[in-house]
Structure 1
Amino acid sequence: MLRNLSTKETYADLALIATAIVWGATFLPMATATQTNGVFTLLFWRFLIACFIMAFIAFKFDKKFDINSIKYGLILGVILFFGFASQTFAFKFAQSANVAFISGLNVVIVPFVVYAFFRERISIYAYIGVALGCIGLYFLSDPSVSFGKGEALSIVCAFAWAFHIVFTSFYAKKCELFTLLATQFGVIIVLSAIFAFAFEDGITPNLDYAFYKAMVISILFATIFGFIMQATMLKLTTPVKAALIFTLEPVSAGVLGYFAGGEMFGVWQILGALIILAGILISEIGTILQKNSCAKTQAVHV
Structure 2
Amino acid sequence: MNEFSVKLDSETRRATPWLILTTFLWGGSFVFNKIGFREIPPVTFLFLRFLLAAVMMALVCLPRLKKINRDIVRRGAMVGIALTAANLSFVIGVSGTSATRAGFLNNLFVLVVPLLCYLIWRDKVDRLTFAGLCLAVSGIIALAAGGGFSRGDIFSTICALFIALHIISVSKVLRSNDDVYLITLFQFITVTILGGLLVLILPQPEFHMGPVSAGALFYCALFPTVICFTVQNTFQRFTTPTRASLIYTLDPVWSMLGGFALLGERLGVWEALGCVLIFSSVVMPLTVKLVAERRALRLYLNQERQTEEAEASGS
TM-score bin, normalised by smaller chain: 0.7 to 0.9
Structure 2 residue aligned with 1:178: 181
Aligned mates of 1:33, 1:258 — CA distance in 2 = 17
Aligned mates of 1:263, 1:93 — CA distance in 2 = 14
Letter of the aligned partner of 2:19 in structure 1? L
Residue 159 of structure 1: how far off its partner (Å): 2.1
Aligned mates of 2:283, 2:94 — CA distance in 1 = 26
Letter of the aligned partner of 1:253 in structure 2? S
Aligned mates of 1:120, 1:2 — CA distance in 2 = 30
CA-atom RMSD, angstroms? 4.0
* Matching of residue 257 in structure 1 with residue 259 in structure 2: yes
Residue 290 of structure 1: how far off its partner (Å): 2.5
Structure 2 residue aligned with 1:5: 8
Letter of the aligned partner of 2:46 in structure 1? L
Structure 2 contact 30–94 (Cα < 8 Å) conserved? no
Equivalent position to 2:191, from 181, 188, 192: 188
User: 1:115-148 deviations in whole A, cap 9, x for unaligned?
Assistant: 7789988998xx47x9569858976995116779
Structure 2 residue aligned with 1:209: 211
Aligned mates of 1:172, 1:13 — CA distance in 2 = 24
The TM-score normalised by the length of structure 2 is 0.75
Equivalent position to 1:20, from 17, 20, 23: 23
* Matching of residue 296 in structure 1 with residue 299 in structure 2: no
Letter of the aligned partner of 1:294 in structure 2? Y
Aligned mates of 2:65, 2:120 — CA distance in 1 = 28
Structure 1 runs not aligned, ≥5 long: none
Aligned mates of 1:223, 1:24 — CA distance in 2 = 12
* Matching of residue 71 in structure 1 with residue 74 in structure 2: yes
- Cα distance change, pair 265–95 in 1 and its aligned pair in 2 (3 A): closer
Residue 8 of structure 1: how far off its partner (Å): 2.5
Structure 2 contact 64–182 (Cα < 8 Å) conserved? no
* SS of corresponding position for 1:201: coil
Structure whose CA Rg is larger: 2
* Matching of residue 30 in structure 1 with residue 33 in structure 2: yes
Letter of the aligned partner of 1:24 in structure 2? G
- Cα distance change, pair 274–159 in 1 and its aligned pair in 2 (3 A): closer
Structure 2 residue aligned with 1:165: 167
Which shows bigger deviation, 230-239 or 155-164?
Answer: 230-239
Residue 206 of structure 1: how far off its partner (Å): 2.2
The TM-score normalised by the length of structure 1 is 0.77
Structure 1 contact 105–134 (Cα < 8 Å) conserved? no
- Cα distance change, pair 123–188 in 1 and its aligned pair in 2 (3 A): same
Aligned mates of 1:213, 1:141 — CA distance in 2 = 36
Residue 59 of structure 1: how far off its partner (Å): 2.2
Residue 101 of structure 1: how far off its partner (Å): 4.7
Aligned mates of 1:133, 1:251 — CA distance in 2 = 20
Aligned mates of 1:248, 1:140 — CA distance in 2 = 19
